Chains A and B, each alone.
Chain A
């Protein structure tokens, strides 16, 4: 169990370092960086490489934004297995729903609770 924490720390840290490199070396805005990382996550899952990373690093792979791309592809492929090509469209948000719905719900609650500062 301790080793899982260690690998989560290392892998998550490395993904964030890659993001920082994209900020500083390639001078990308946070928006461009995050979009690129999501696309990378989607492509990695296309080759079946993201799932082993999750097995290996747990939250180190599921917490960075790359996992968003991964779970989008995952949902689409799961549904495609059942319903063929149309499943790609219908299954897209099957697995990812929690991240987006959490962001919407908590975002709205946050707007109700907190006032902007400054």
Chain B
């Protein structure tokens, strides 16, 4: 992708590209990955604890417990986003806090809070899914294609 883009650049632009590449701060890949692993793992452990809570005190099974767990994690993420703690965690953990569903919740909630000054209909309502919308769009479309292909294969291809 990068090479294709560079073809259309003038020589000066290409030179600048190299100049920029040399001076770009190297990202500490290993450190970032360790942090993402630890924080991401920790969030999942908390999720596991919440799952056990729902399995013991309500009648959820191991297969259905994902739903209330996800809702609870989004709730926790609302509190942490509101008091401004989640941003700090995100700065430390990178993908460790973005990839779990709490990161999805954080994207929705922080957009909602941020646009509150523009009013509830045009601000909060219109901007809530500004960041998270792409996840829903591509998730839904991919799921549609996958489910469609599989259903067609099962019904007419005799698979399964």
A residues with CB within 8 A of B: 1, 4-5, 8-25, 30-31, 33-35, 37-39, 41-43, 45-46, 54-55, 57-60, 62-65, 67-69, 71-73, 76-77, 80, 84-85, 87-89, 92, 95, 97-104, 106-111, 113-117
Q: Is the interface of B mostly helix, strand, loop or mixed?
A: helix
**8 Å CB contact of B147 from A24, A64, A80, A108:** A80
Report the separation of the CA atoms of residues A41 and B41 in the bound assembly, to the nearest whole angstrom.
18
Task: Return 25 A-B CB contacts under 8 Å, by A number.
Answer: A4-B48, A8-B41, A12-B43, A16-B39, A16-B93, A20-B33, A20-B96, A23-B94, A35-B134, A38-B142, A54-B63, A59-B45, A59-B47, A63-B70, A63-B73, A67-B70, A68-B101, A68-B139, A88-B151, A99-B71, A102-B105, A106-B105, A107-B128, A111-B112, A111-B115
Q: Which residue of B lies closest to A111 (CB)?
A: B112
A8 near B74 (CB under 8 angstroms)?
no
Q: Which residue of A lies closest to B93 (CB)?
A: A16
B130-155: which residues lie under 8 A (CB-CB) from chain A? Answer: 131-132, 134-140, 142-144, 146-152, 155
B residues with CB within 8 A of A: 27, 29, 32-33, 35-45, 47-52, 62-63, 65-71, 73-75, 77-78, 81-84, 93-96, 98-105, 108-109, 111-117, 120, 124, 128, 131-132, 134-140, 142-144, 146-152, 155
